Each structure stands twice: as structure tokens, then as C-alpha cells.
Structure 1
């Protein structure tokens, strides 16, 4: 499954993560460094499993926790219409 930011969403990196701007609604979403890592990994073509493995190594968390964190980020961004998933 691939993931893409919606066409009307822009991302700007900050010192501690990033800010997503939904240009159609004018709403901002702030991501911490983990959230930014997840989004970047997925929109660059990484699978959930690949990004979870990277998170697990980088932040020394269990794979199950990394996968749960990714699922949470994806759910929140999908509900806010910031990211879309395609098979």
C-alpha cells in the first residue's frame, strides 16, 4: 500500500518535527519528530513494516509499539484528510 499527502497539503519541517497545512481548510497540524519520520518514510514509498522496523531501531521501541504508533498517525492524518492510502 502506498501513501501520499493530499495535493492541497504542504509540509514544513521545524526544529522538532513539522507542520502540515491543509490549504483548502486552512488548518494546521503539528507533527513531532516521530510523526515526521513516519510521514516521510511512508510518502517516500516505505511500507508500514519498513518504517516500523526503522522506528524500532532508531527509538529503541518494540515492533508492536512502532506499528501501533504508525497506525495512530495514519488514522489521525486520514481522518483530517491530510494523507491518502492507495493499493
Structure 2
């Protein structure tokens, strides 16, 4: 699965994750580390099982089930949100 930012949306890394800004509407989204990692991975073309493994690598106490659920939930939220779209 691959996502891309919509035209007019820019991403900026922050100390806490990432901020997405829609330069047309002025609307913005602040992502903490987990959704930022998931979005970066999706933009890079990673598949959800690989992203879940990366989450577990970043957070060793996270169970495989929780990592998979978090990846699915955040991916669904991102694809339903205005700043991103399937590539």
C-alpha cells in the first residue's frame, strides 16, 4: 500500500512527530511519533505488516497484535482524512 500527500499539503517533522499543513485551507494535523512513522512508511511504499514490525522494533513492549491493530487504525484514519490519498 502506498499513500501520497494531496497537492498543497506539506509535511514537517517535529520533535514530537510530524505536522501536516494544507496550504490552501490552512487546516493542519499534528501527528505524534506512531502515526508519523506509519505515514512516512506508507509514503515510502511499505506494507502494513512491515510497518507493524517497525512499530514493534521502535516499541519492544508492544505486542504484535497491538502493533497490527494500531497500524490498521491509523492507516484507515489517514486514508479517510483530507491530507492524504492512495498513490
TM-score (normalizing by structure 2): 0.85
Q: Structure 1 CA distance, aligned partners of 2:9 and 2:51? A: 21
**Structure 2: runs of 5+ lacking an equivalent:** none
Q: How does 1:51-66 map to 2 (within 5 A)?
A: 51-60=51-60, 61-66=62-67
Count of residue pairs brought into register by the alignment: 86
Work out whether 1:73 is the aligned partner of 2:74.
Answer: yes
Q: Is the 8 A contact 1:74 1:83 kept in 2?
A: no
Q: Give CA-to-partner distance per residue, 1:17-74, whole Å, 9 cap, x none.
A: 1111122321110000111111111111111111111111221212221121122222
**Structure 1: runs of 5+ lacking an equivalent:** none
Q: Structure 1 CA distance, aligned partners of 2:2 and 2:27? A: 24
1:79, distance to aligned residue in structure 2 (A) = 2.3
CA RMSD between the two structures:
1.5
TM-score (normalizing by structure 1): 0.85
